[in-house]
Structure 1
Amino acid sequence: MKSPFLRLLFIALAVILTDQSTKFMVMEHLKLGEQREWIAGFFRLVHWGNTGAAWSMFRDNNLVLAGIALVALVILFFSRKHFEAHRLIGQVALGLMFGGIIGNLIDRFRIGHVVDFIYFFTYRKAGGEIGFPAFNVADSAICVGVGLLFIITLQKDNESKSIPLISSAPPKQSELDLEP
């Protein structure tokens, strides 16, 4: 694929397709609230609805969060040149983020909440369990995309610091003398 935009679009569509198909399978095989442990004491497939943002923050604000996501999507689209969209790493980062945002937006508009189904946890010695908040493919894509944008930013920062300053004035004789 030669076009950077087509590559970005392909990545976004792959994320959306993967996200929506995995959510569809979860909704087909698990009732809302149902859980199935796959790795004892470590991993469950769950079917949880999230009307909030990450870790269920701002719960029951589905339309507000959908609006924020749409605004973020538009801003990200129009500022994509600042995120190295001409380089492969930028295309992957933006494609993952676009796909993830759109995948979760589809849920918000179609069913009124985001479907989360990946849940890692462990049992406490004192009883009960502690776990990482449930998430989905779209959430993962967004996080990886943001991580790649951080890498891009660090690379740009390092490149700007390593460029020597060029002086228009010739060096002084004292700067040329190598002996004390």
Structure 2
Amino acid sequence: MSLKKSAIIIIIILLIDQISKTYIKTHFQLGDDVEVSSWFRILFIENDGMAWGTKLSDIISFIDDKSAKLILTLFRIIAVSGIGYWLFNVIKKQKTKTLIFAISLIFAGALGNIIDSVFYGILFGDSYAQVATFLPESGGYAEIFHGKVVDMLHFPIYNGILPEWLPFFGGTYFSFFDPVFNVADVAISTGIGILIIFNKRAFNEPPKKIETPYLESSNNPT
């Protein structure tokens, strides 16, 4: 896969991710919940931390929330830079299409969430009890590098009380699938899934062309 094709994949994912986030941010209040079907909802939340909303300050108690957010954003920038270098390297070395495609997805997703963390705080107003505005005159809701990642995809496939006959868990409330995520998260998860499921195909060296040296015919005159 060429660098051009990889760039097209990345741009398409970034466009879908950022357009969907911008639409939600400028049309929904924080916490708005729209039912699309019995198993799919649009639920607007903002993630100020890592996966599952975990903050670095929750793990390291002596770091305040603001410093934790800055450290997390800087770490994400370093990580996405490393992924970008990895992607450029595998394309340059003409590795398998599966590997390049998977890394392209991961890079696009990581970059999409980085844009939120770095710029959304200064680009958008607050979403609490109001619909945020783009480039508000009074300024954004946070400083640069302190933006929150916009999530909106929710798939509550099952919610209810488990049957009494189930051992240990019978009669208790159970819900699946609780996480709320975005298009960038889908790209990252899909890329990682491809690397895990198609590991051999991704990391196998593509066959190299063997150049046959020119052999002079024995019938040539000496």
> Which TM-score tier does this pair reach, normalised by the shorter chain?
0.7 to 0.9
Select 1:144's aligned residue among 179, 190, 199. Answer: 190
Equivalent in the alignment of 1:53: 50
**Number of equivalences:** 156
Select 1:91's aligned residue among 100, 105, 109. Answer: 100
CA RMSD of aligned residues (A): 2.6
Residues in 1 aligned to 2:202 and 2:33: alpha-carbon distance in whole angstroms: 44
Return 5+ residue gaps in structure 2 as ranges: 57-64, 121-146, 162-171, 206-222
Select 1:62's aligned residue among 54, 65, 69. Answer: 69
Deviates more, 1:44-53 or 1:31-40: 31-40
Residues in 2 aligned to 1:5 and 1:152: alpha-carbon distance in whole angstroms: 21
Give the percent of matched residue pairs that are identical in Structure 1 and Structure 2.
28
**Alignment map for 1:1-180 (pairs within 5 Å):** 4-40=2-38, 42-58=39-55, 60=65, 61-80=68-87, 81=89, 86-111=95-120, 112-121=147-156, 122-125=158-161, 131-155=177-201
Q: In 2, are the aligned partners of 1:107 and 1:115 still within 8 Å (CA)?
A: yes
What's the TM-score once normalised by structure 2's chain length? 0.61
Residues in 2 aligned to 1:48 and 1:19: alpha-carbon distance in whole angstroms: 15
Structure 1 residue identity aligned to 2:50 = A
> What is the deviation of 1:82?
5.4
What's the TM-score once normalised by structure 1's chain length? 0.74
Q: In 1, are the aligned partners of 2:195 and 2:202 still within 8 Å (CA)?
A: no
Equivalent in the alignment of 1:171: none
Return 5+ residue gaps in structure 1 as ranges: 161-180
1:44-79, Cα deviation, whole Å (9 max, x unpaired): 101100011111122654322221211111222223
> What is the deviation of 1:131?
3.7
Structure 1 residue identity aligned to 2:30 = L
Q: List structure 1 runs of 4+ shifted beyond 6 angstroms.
A: none
1:11-45, Cα deviation, whole Å (9 max, x unpaired): 111111010001112122211111111113x2210
